Amino acid sequence: MRIKYTIFIVFFVALVIIEKENNIISRVSDKLTLKQTPQTSLRPSGFSHILLKHNVSLSLMNRRLENYSEHQEGMTRSRKHILLLTTTRTGSSFVGEFFNQQGDGMFYLFEPLWHVEKMMTLDTRGTNATVAAKAYRDVLQQLFLCDFSLLETFINPLPVNHITPALFRRESSSSLCEEAVCSPFVKGVFERYHCKTRRCGPLNLTMASEFCLQKEHRAIKSVRVRQLETLRPLAEDPRLDIKFIQLVRDPRAVLASRMVAFASNYKNWKQWAMGGDVPTNDDEVKKLKGNCDNIRMSAEVGLRQPPWLRRRYMLVRYEDIARFPMRKAREMYRFIGIPLTQQVKSWILKNTQSSKETSGVYSTQKNSSEQVEKWRDSLPYSIVQVVQRVCGPTLKLFGYKFVSSEEMLMDKSVSLIEDKVFSFV
């Protein structure tokens, strides 16, 4: 009985509030009407009057809901932090341009962890994987906050007064080539480091930090993080609204591409491709297995969607991007929660429909759909068998079909890519 009485009181108070609001609205409406016409307009009476006031209340409520929706939409459009997580020769430079080309609102960094890895390699004490993973994580965290001081300690030679001519592939980050961070260029000095769009002198990291803070969103591409799990502190950092996009590619295609791009490091594979058995206990084969396992384990964590990764992880296959670039770009931006600009759309159209590839293994201008099956022409069946043996679980998880014969390998009418949807919501 007491509960019913309480509900009645609450309902009555709500009616009183609505009535007061309606009276205010009615008075304002009356004043406006009197100003517009010489005679007082007839007002409905009785039940019709109640209905009119009820409609006004609904209208007011709708306006409030619309305002709330706009507020929520504004919240979703707040600063985003995007990490494109992948390995070498997966098409990551190409996909990274989806964010690099976003325009004025995006601060994009191309492989800043290169400096960290380089310094770790030079460390004669033999840095272990745990220390390296922590260094990668801490540098990424600071960069997403526009703090370059930690990265600066890894740049060789050490920057002087926060100025360096040695930032790796600076020209691949359009944000670092904009006028705001472009110091005067001296001909014949530091020419190696000038940007594509304009000739700039050495990079002032303090200016880069200040410019980064002015940008609405921040994106980083990296091929150096081995395990997604090591980045958990980034997801739990309240200062960051981070989204992880893991880009994967058929391990057979990755190996074929690496054998061309990094020929000197893949001499054994090139020799095995010429004929003969591949020793399964060879260090190069073990390294391939380790790479496949790391990629698969990261994806398994992401697809499992633990609480710290919920709505923060997306898995994308390079093959799907190559075949449907615009569709996948829209999906990625929808996942991130920011609009896809016309500038990105134009770049995608220009760089995925090229009839002739531009030179260089690092080029992003290619007929992307042709890249999907290209590896089948260069990788012999004997090597394919080795990759399938050591990377079998990875192939299965990502939906890449096994080749059972040399004839099947060469038959391009048989697709090796399953239609597969990876849930990331």
Query: Which residues have C-beta within 8 Å of that of residue 290, sequence separation ≥ 6?
Result: none
Q: How far apart are CA 88 and CA 226, in angstroms?
A: 12
Question: What Cα–Cα distance (Å) separates residue 131 from each residue in 90, 117, 221, 364?
Answer: 26, 11, 21, 33
For residue 58, the model assigns a pLDDT of 53
85 and 28 within one domain: no
Residues 150 and 58 in one domain: no
Residues 333 and 277 in one domain: yes
Query: Which pTM was predicted?
Result: 0.78
Predicted confidence (pLDDT) at residue 3 exceeds the cutoff of 60:
no
Digit-coded pLDDT (tens) for 219-244 = 999 999 999 999 999 999 999 999 99
**pLDDT value at residue 261:** 95
Mean per-residue pLDDT for 247-254? 98
pLDDT digits (tens, 9 = 90+) for 254-281: 999 999 999 999 999 999 999 878 998 9
pLDDT tens readout for residues 370-404: 679 899 999 999 999 999 999 999 999 999 999 99
Angle at the Cα of 395 (from 389 to 399), degrees rounded to 5? 150
pLDDT of residue 242: 98
- How far is residue 28's CA from residue 416's CA, in Å, rounded to a whole number? 69
Best CA proximity match to 329, nearest among 152, 82, 150? 82
Return the structure tokens found at 265.
């490091």
151 and 125 both lie in a single domain: yes
Structure-token pair, residue 288: 């391939």
CATH code at position 185: 3.40.50.300
pLDDT mean over 169-193: 79
Strands 203-204 and 163-164: antiparallel
Looking at the structure, tell me whether residues 51 and 94 fall in a common domain: no
Reported confidence tier of residue 186, pLDDT bands at 50, 70, 90:
low
On whether the CB atoms of residues 86 and 298 are closer than 8 A, the answer is no
Question: Is 211 domain-assigned?
Answer: yes
**Cα separation, 135 vs 120, whole angstroms:** 9
Q: Kindly state whether residues 371 and 225 are assigned to the same domain.
A: yes
Predicted confidence at residue 425, as pLDDT, reads: 58
State residue 62's pLDDT score: 57
Per-residue CA distances from 345 to 64, 249, 341, 352 (Å): 35, 23, 7, 11
The pLDDT of residue 301? 97
Three-class DSSP labels, the chain: CHHHHHHHHHHHHHHHHHHHHHHHHHHHHHHHHHHHCCCCCCCCCHHHHHHHHHHHHHHHHHHHHHHHHHHHHHHHCCCCEEEEECCCCCCHHHHHHHHHCCCCCEEEEECCHHHHHHHHHHCCCCCCHHHHHHHHHHHHHHHHCCCCHHHHCCCCCCCECCEECCCCCHHHCHHHHCHHHCCCCCCCCCHHHCCCCCCCCCEEHHHHHHHHHHCCEEEEEECCCCCHHHHHHHHCCCCCCEEEEEEECCHHHHHHHHHHHCHHHHHHHHHHHCCCCCCCCCHHHHHHHHHHHHHHHHHHHHHHCCHHHCCCEEEEEHHHHHHCHHHHHHHHHHHHCCCCCHHHHHHHHHHHCCCCCCCCCCCCCCCHHHHCCCHHHHCCHHHHHHHHHHCHHHHHHHCECCCCCHHHHHCCCCCCECCCCCCCC
> Which residue segment(s) compose the domain that 59 sits in?
2-37+44-75
Residue 157: cis peptide before it, omega within 30 degrees of 0 = yes
Q: Give a yes or no: residue 335 inside a domain.
A: yes
Tell which wins on pLDDT, 30 or 64: 64
CA 108 to chain CA mean position, Å:
10
| Residues 365, 234 share a domain | yes
Cα(325)–Cα(340) distance, integer angstroms: 13
pLDDT value of residue 275: 87
Same domain for 101 and 63: no
Amino acid at site 391: C
Cβ burial, residue 344 (10 Å; 0-12/13-18/19+): buried
pLDDT tier, 122 (very low <50, low <70, confident <90, very high otherwise): confident
Structurally, the chain folds into a number of domains equal to 2
Final residue of a domain: which of 27, 55, 75? 75
What residues are paired with 242 via a beta bridge?
81
pLDDT digits (tens, 9 = 90+) for 301-359: 999 999 999 999 999 999 999 999 999 999 999 999 999 999 999 999 999 875 554 44
Query: pLDDT-based confidence at 189, cuts 50/70/90?
Result: low
Would residue 93 count as lying in a domain? yes
Residue 416 lies in a domain: no
CA distances from 10 to 5, 13, 20, 56, 59 (A): 9, 5, 16, 21, 22
Do the domain assignments include residue 240? yes
Domain membership flag for residue 421: no
Domain shared by 160 and 271, yes or no: yes
Asked if 171 and 294 sit in the same domain, the reply is yes
Q: Do 12 and 136 sit in the same domain of this protein? A: no
> Can you name the residues that pair with 315 across neighbouring β-strands?
246
Dist. CA 60–CA 66, nearest whole Å: 10
In a domain, 417, yes or no: no
Asked if 43 and 49 count as a contact pair (C-beta separation under 8 A), the reply is yes
The pLDDT of residue 24: 36
pLDDT for residue 198: 82
Looking at the structure, do residues 372 and 286 belong to the same domain, yes or no?
yes
276 phi-psi bin (left φ>0, alpha ψ -120 to 50, beta other)? left
Predicted confidence (pLDDT) per residue in 34-91, tens digit: 333 333 333 333 433 433 344 445 555 555 545 544 443 443 348 999 999 999 999 9
Query: Does 418 reside within a domain?
Result: no
